[in-house]
Structure 1
């Protein structure tokens, strides 16, 4: 054996050693595209690796650290490897670049050498891994081809270090066949029918349990809101003043009209002893006096009602206090609320798309925005029969829930409520949303 052959064999052994000792895929790719030059001379090389979609992409090229996907050369190579069906993908062969260009109807890049050697890299255990393409102007000899056939087997074996057995077929054969497979099937069956409670989340607000509404006693105009929002009030405290100028004038006019009628009645009584016509008017004048007294009493009552007082102790709840000043109100219209801060409940707006079958006394958990880590417990008290628009303009069911705890949260706090429904099998718990979506999508 000549000295040159001994050197080439030593280089071949050293190259195989480098390939098997590569610590990562990138290192192995570098060895394949660059170190192969120690055995066979070439201008450039391209390593294409198989993807999960059975396509081949260039992962490394000689003398370049990064891959430029926009390069016409790389695009041409990936194109003909993935689309030219005339190539025997399992054999080392010299490729006719001109013929390939015609097959894929693409122009040959100018920087692509005339002679391309196509080398499949096959793992003995995992099959086809990719291709190595070597390019040079001089044609590859038969001895070069045989040498690279041996080297490709070594590269294929080196790939085994980075391949994992993720075959679904092998996975099923391992766990779902054999004498003990019935245990797996039984476990799956039990898990799928494991009963779990359906849950839904929805916006929630802390509201007063038995609020006392302060409403307008008659059609009028708000003069002033005396108290501020969240002020503590006690029984008899002044809350609201309504405009009383017109009512006060009406009251004074009613009193004057009463006095005139009373004097006329007195004059008629004095004249009735000698005048029969005056005696006949007495009954009419007495009725007019009673009517005027009723009008005075009514005007006085309305005048008193221009001042609205608290009828229970608690806190005042009023929205936009300054906006109420000068606002006209209708009889019965709510102006503010007086609520006991120690008696609260939860108002939940459950969206229709997340609705579930719930029963009275179903469990509810509330996570307030001010303290999202800890939860407050409650029970469902009532739910609306028909949905309505929530403050966020979402079609929702209105649900009331109790607060089961010692220290009630402040009225007005908001957060998220978790509502618990009936128990269902695990498979329905997991697939409920996809089933609903598919039903709506396909229209059944």
Structure 2
């Protein structure tokens, strides 16, 4: 365990000021200038460079001390890029494996090699691994390839210090290299390590948000995390869920009495209003009686004429045998006119239609029927019992989930979004028919269950039909698979 590091009060004040400057940076460029230039007030050095290491592209030299902006074409900047790539390349190879941040060095951390690297980093014996990638450590030209190390003396002093920038989640933001003539002390490393945490936190605020694909790729990296994620996903796919479907529904009357037109004619007047309660014998509507009244008057006149002719013939038949035969013919004509008169009277009495039982008159608008010609047997309205209702659901063919009688469903009325009614399916039509909206659907009838209040007749809403239990993967992929089969024909 390392001994506590003593830091002077003045250095602590400078450390706090540099941290504040990093937090106040308006953008990444301002932060980079602060890192490579203003850190000189805390730790002496001759050269400093910040290397940005985004995950989607090769690293680049983002800031160099003493320059307001780095020029990628400058020889010095090009040499820095080669040096950073040489430092990071071994770490990139070491970082492959289980993908954890606690394994070998992560991307963006140089890996010095040999005895000098181990001694400069942590004082370990030769051949051992260098210090952890999250901690600063010193290195020299001996840790670089010959092609890069040959130009070290032309650009840099002898001793360099690598300060990795890694946030708390392990995401690398590259690193900062400081170079000077004197060797780096443990105190310098501790103060710069503290500043590196502040810089990484500030860079994380400027970094673009990871996309869903990037997060998924990070989650599925080789290792225990990926195995656990795949196992959890596989387990989630087989979790049983109820297969449900939504369909429009309406509360309709059960065993409603159909009021039909008793004969051909024109509706003259409706005596009731929609949803009006009626009792047996209450007038509902009347047909135009002009034609029937004329026919009744003619039939009545014919009956009177036939009756008078029969009376006269009967008187003459008392004295003349020839008139007796004529009396029989007159009697038949009288009976015929009597039948016609009775039939016309009955038809005239049926012009006014009354309620056969108590209930609520169910129809749309009286203006739709006034003056309308109707045929015998044509439905005009319904007489429904408000307490005896059922649920009618129009199940689209595309949403059919093999609904069977006895399945449960729930009605969510549009007029009362906080109320729900449970029901049980009684019948399912075997044949789909077009709805008024032009959708091909099966007609489903259901009875409300429970002892609570029933919805009002005519209420419309959405019914959730509860089907069988299926795996979650089937629930999510049922519609896409159906569409794919229709397009591909398999």
Q: What TM-score do you get using the length of structure 1 for normalisation?
A: 0.68
- 5 Å-filtered alignment, 1:152-301, equals 156-157=174-175, 162=204, 167-170=218-221, 172-174=223-225, 176=227, 185=231, 192-301=237-346
Given that residues 215 and 335 in structure 1 are in contact (C-alpha distance below 8 angstroms), is that contact kept between their aligned partners in structure 2? yes
Distance 1:382 1:366, change over 3 A: same
Rounded to whole Å, the distance in 2 between the matches of 1:176 and 1:197 is: 28
Rounded to whole Å, the distance in 2 between the matches of 1:212 and 1:47 is: 86
Distance 1:144 1:21, change over 3 A: farther
- 5 Å-filtered alignment, 1:129-144, equals none
- 5 Å-filtered alignment, 1:27-426, equals 28-32=28-32, 36=36, 50=54, 54=56, 94-95=72-73, 117=77, 126-127=106-107, 156-157=174-175, 162=204, 167-170=218-221, 172-174=223-225, 176=227, 185=231, 192-404=237-449, 405-426=451-472
Aligned length: 361
Given that residues 22 and 34 in structure 2 are in contact (C-alpha distance below 8 angstroms), is that contact kept between their aligned partners in structure 1? no
Unaligned stretches of 5+ in structure 1? 1-13, 41-45, 63-91, 97-114, 130-140
Deviation of 1:316 after TM superposition, in Å, equals: 1.2
Rounded to whole Å, the distance in 2 between the matches of 1:332 and 1:57 is: 87
Per the alignment, in what secondary structure is the counterpart of residue 409 of structure 2?
Answer: strand
Partner of 2:483: 437
Distance 1:156 1:294, change over 3 A: same
Partner of 2:136: none
Rounded to whole Å, the distance in 1 between the matches of 2:316 and 2:35 is: 140
Rounded to whole Å, the distance in 1 between the matches of 2:38 and 2:200 is: 23
Given that residues 126 and 160 in structure 1 are in contact (C-alpha distance below 8 angstroms), is that contact kept between their aligned partners in structure 2? no
Deviation of 1:423 after TM superposition, in Å, equals: 2.7
Rounded to whole Å, the distance in 1 between the matches of 2:260 and 2:362 is: 13
Unaligned stretches of 5+ in structure 2? 1-13, 41-49, 65-69, 92-104, 110-150, 166-172, 176-195
Higher mean C-alpha displacement, 23-32 vs 270-279? 23-32
Partner of 1:70: none
Deviation of 1:269 after TM superposition, in Å, equals: 2.1
What CA deviation, in whole Å up to 9, does each residue of 1:298-329 have, x standing for no partner? 11111111111111111111211122111111
Q: CA RMSD in A?
A: 4.3
Deviation of 1:169 after TM superposition, in Å, equals: 4.1
What CA deviation, in whole Å up to 9, does each residue of 1:348-390 have, x standing for no partner? 1111111111211110100101211221011101111111122
Larger RCO (CA under 8 A, 6+ residues apart): 1
Rounded to whole Å, the distance in 2 between the matches of 1:338 and 1:18 is: 86
Deviation of 1:20 after TM superposition, in Å, equals: 11
Rounded to whole Å, the distance in 2 between the matches of 1:144 and 1:345 is: 93
Deviation of 1:394 after TM superposition, in Å, equals: 1.4
Rounded to whole Å, the distance in 1 between the matches of 2:477 and 2:24 is: 40
Rounded to whole Å, the distance in 1 between the matches of 2:444 and 2:394 is: 6
Q: What TM-score do you get using the length of structure 2 for normalisation?
A: 0.62
